[in-house]
Amino acid sequence: MKFRVDRDVLAEAVTWTARSLPTRPPVPVLAGVRLEADSTGVVQLSSFDYEVSARSEITADVSDPGTVLVSGRLLAEIARALPAKPVDLVLEGNKVIVTCGASRFTLLTMPVEDYPALPAMPAQVGTVRGEDLTEAVAQVTVAASRDDTLPLLTGVRMEIEGETITLLATDRYRLALRTLTWTPASPGLSAVALVRARTLSDAAKSLGSTDQVTVALSTGAGVDLIGFEAGGRHTTSLLVDGDYPAVRRLFPDETPIHAVVATSALTEAARRVALVAERNTPIRLAFSEGQVVLDAGQGDDAQASEALEASLTGEDITVAFNPQYLLDGLGALSTAFVRLSFTHPNKPVEFTGQGSLDGQDDRSYRYLLVPIRFAS
């Protein structure tokens, strides 16, 4: 195998393909990236860990077609460190020689025949704007659990009904829901998939810069896969197995009390007040007519408080939140104002975005946060 390629093209492709390689692979070959150069001038790079696969294609000046398997992380580090000149990769025996200007590296190859076959991309089910996918996934994955002992909650539930996709995630302390429109391959399409939040977030970030992302789904008999494709890059992931809890019912039907606050002002104030909140110490928000007072700390500990303008409908109410969970919810909103809707000081609070102080809230994104009980 022998080919020449631009340094930036190689570095970008290897970095993307190697991004999901396992740190401690069960078998050594899974730490590798396979490079397959063909006579048409296309080099395909691929990685696979039995759960997530990634493939990217680049064009190169191929002198000698062939296939090799080398350490993915090492090749990515080398490619990024090379000078901005064309790169030559040549297979010599059981080694790959990487040359770029005056730089020369020698990499040992791995047995390519031991590398597992990558799963085929499932059937395409529709396309979604890359920008919309990136925003929606970021808004929802903040609420997904990081606790691998509860694998179901580390996933994002994707519900497809015709032209609408609904994404749901929860870690038992908060719940995020986002709806977005897309273009389904079939108008009456209806499907449900539970996708690992980490995988979904990674795919959305890396493919979201493109205009359209193709979504592929296989939920029939056998292996359940989801796939994403854009700009010559393809990634697949096994779906999480199991029944996701019925979390939609947690959203309140009616909220007799609601407050509207400027999102950026509340975010900045919460960050400042949280500086004195020690681990597991909440921030209290006391809403009354015309204002909200944030405070944290008590007794002999450091204390902080700050008052902001707020519009309140209903009776005065005081709630307390985990500071990071509060900031995660506020950070997921892109609107000028946030509406907090209450039923009771100890019941979950719903966050929605609002374009103006007295406008309607946008319910395409909803963040439900369980308050912390505190001694009054």
76 membership: H or E segment, kind and range: helix 72-81
| Single-letter amino acid, residue 159 | E
Q: Cα–Cα distance between 336 and 359 in angstroms, integer?
A: 11
97 and 129 both lie in a single domain = no
Helices (H), 94-176: 130-141
pLDDT tens profile 101-157: 999 999 999 999 999 999 999 999 999 999 999 999 999 999 999 988 889 999 999
pTM score, whole prediction: 0.90
Q: Does any domain span residue 308?
A: yes
Tell me what pLDDT residue 376 has: 56
291 and 310 both lie in a single domain = yes
pLDDT tens profile 172-193: 999 999 999 999 999 989 999 9
Tell me what pLDDT residue 220 has: 67
Across all residues in the chain, what is the average pLDDT?
Answer: 93
Using CA of residue 176, residue 177, residue 180, residue 183, what is the dihedral sign? positive
Q: 84: buried, middle or exposed (CB in 10 Å: 19+, 13-18, 0-12)?
A: exposed
227 and 260 both lie in a single domain = no
Of 248, 280, 313, the residue that ends a domain is: 248
β-sheet bridge partners, residue 100: 103
Pick from 3, 90, 20, 6: nearest CA to 233: 20
Q: Is 165 helix (H, G, I), strand (E, B) or coil?
A: strand
Q: Does any domain span residue 119?
A: no
Q: Cα–Cα distance between 210 and 53 in angstroms, integer?
A: 20
Q: Does any domain span residue 375?
A: no
Residue 117: CB atoms within 10 Å: 7
190 and 289 both lie in a single domain = no
The CATH number covering residue 9 comes to: 3.10.150.10
Q: What's the total number of domains in the chain?
A: 3
Of 64, 91, 114, the residue that ends a domain is: 114
- The answer to whether the CB of 270 falls within 8 A of the CB of 330 is yes
Q: Domain span at residue 187?
A: 124-248
235 and 257 both lie in a single domain = no
Of 189, 217, 248, the residue that ends a domain is: 248
Q: Cα–Cα distance between 66 and 60 in angstroms, integer?
A: 13
